């Protein structure tokens, strides 16, 4: 089966489990990524914002509550239906990150929140993000760090189950890897960081911020098990700007 078709089918079959997982809460999102993403997005009041790969719309709703005019797109029909149900005022469409159904220069801000790792043709997706963003607008991207996507096994543990180290192998080979947890079974794509950076730069974007979120002391006090996230940078957050026309 073609990997692209398989990836979409896996998301369709995993949608209910994903919604349940989001409803239970994900510490990495709520305590690690959300604060950084919100700070990087900044003031969104009255801004036209596209959330690419919005899923069931969790982050879209957060931005809507801050005054953004939200458009969310996702390939998974049931996730879009859930997003519409939870946010009737928002605009949510079934669409591909590689073929956004919008005119050039349509949005003030484009969001990609742990999505590119799910997209097979990430270079086209980055081109599309740049295309639909207005000159002077920003693209805010959270993604899984390339050092953390080379293997699907996660931490290597000793006989007692203690986490010893995180495996890295085949770093420069772009490929899809199958991941399963909590009833979710999907394909994530590994690429070296240079592949991502080259794609952004070839799209004519200018890097304004690069961050690798780490748990705050407050988060560690509330959730001591997040100490593992102080040992390896699982995620990065970037802010790119589309230059204004001279």
In the prediction, which pLDDT does 245 show?
Answer: 82
Q: Is residue 246 part of a domain?
A: no
pTM: 0.94
Give the ranges where the chain is alpha helix by DSSP (H): 3-24, 27, 34-41, 58-65, 77-86, 122-132, 193-202, 217-222
pLDDT at position 215 is 95
Give the helix ranges, DSSP H, for 87-215: 122-132, 193-202
Q: Report if residue 14 sits inside a domain.
A: yes
**CA atoms of 189 and 222, how far apart (whole Å):** 32
Q: What is the pLDDT of residue 3?
A: 66
pLDDT of residue 7: 76
How far from 240 is each of 86, 102, 184, 212, 213, CA to CA, in Å? 29, 20, 31, 15, 17
Q: Which domain holds residue 49?
A: 3-241
In a domain, 178, yes or no: yes
CA pair distance 48, 137, nearest whole angstrom: 10
pLDDT, position 219:
93
C-beta atoms surrounding 65 within 10 Å: 11
Query: What tens-digit pLDDT sequence spans the chain (246 residues)?
Result: 476 677 788 889 999 999 999 998 889 999 999 999 999 999 999 999 999 999 999 999 999 999 999 999 999 999 999 999 999 999 999 999 999 999 999 999 999 999 999 999 999 999 999 999 999 999 999 999 999 999 888 899 999 999 999 999 999 999 999 888 889 989 999 999 999 999 999 999 999 999 999 999 999 999 999 999 999 999 999 999 999 987
Specify the number of domains making up the chain.
1
Whether residue 186 contacts residue 178, with contact meaning beta carbons closer than 8 Å, is answered with: yes
pLDDT recorded at residue 5: 77
The reported pLDDT for the residue numbered 242 is: 98
CATH number, domain with residue 203? 3.40.50.150
> How many other CB atoms are found less than 10 A from the CB of residue 203?
19
Tokens read off for 122: 């990430």
């Amino acid at each position: 089966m073609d990997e692209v078709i398989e990836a979409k089918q896996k998301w369709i079959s995993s949608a209910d489990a994903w919604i349940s997982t989001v409803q239970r809460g994900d510490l990495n999102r709520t305590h690690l990524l959300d604060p950084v993403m919100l700070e990087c997005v900044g003031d969104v009041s009255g801004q036209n914002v596209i959330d690419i790969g919005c899923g069931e719309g969790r982050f879209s709703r957060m931005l809507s509550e801050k005054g953004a005019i939200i458009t969310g797109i996702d390939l998974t029909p049931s996730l879009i239906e859930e997003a519409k149900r939870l946010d009737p005022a928002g605009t949510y469409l079934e669409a591909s990150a590689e073929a956004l159904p919008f005119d050039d220069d349509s949005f003030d801000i484009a969001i990609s929140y742990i999505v590119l790792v799910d997209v097979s043709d990430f270079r086209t997706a980055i081109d599309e993000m740049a295309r639909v963003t207005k000159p002077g607008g920003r693209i805010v991207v959270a993604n899984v760090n390339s050092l953390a996507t080379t293997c699907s096994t996660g931490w290597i543990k000793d006989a007692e189950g203690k986490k010893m180290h995180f495996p890295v192998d085949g770093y420069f080979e772009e490929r899809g890897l199958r991941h399963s947890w909590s009833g979710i079974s999907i394909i994530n794509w590994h690429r070296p960081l240079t592949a991502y950076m080259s794609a952004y730069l070839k799209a004519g974007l200018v890097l304004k911020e690069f961050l690798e979120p780490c748990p705050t002391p407050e988060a560690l006090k509330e959730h001591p098990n997040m100490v593992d996230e102080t040992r390896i940078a699982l995620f990065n957050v970037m802010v790119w700007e589309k230059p204004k026309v001279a």
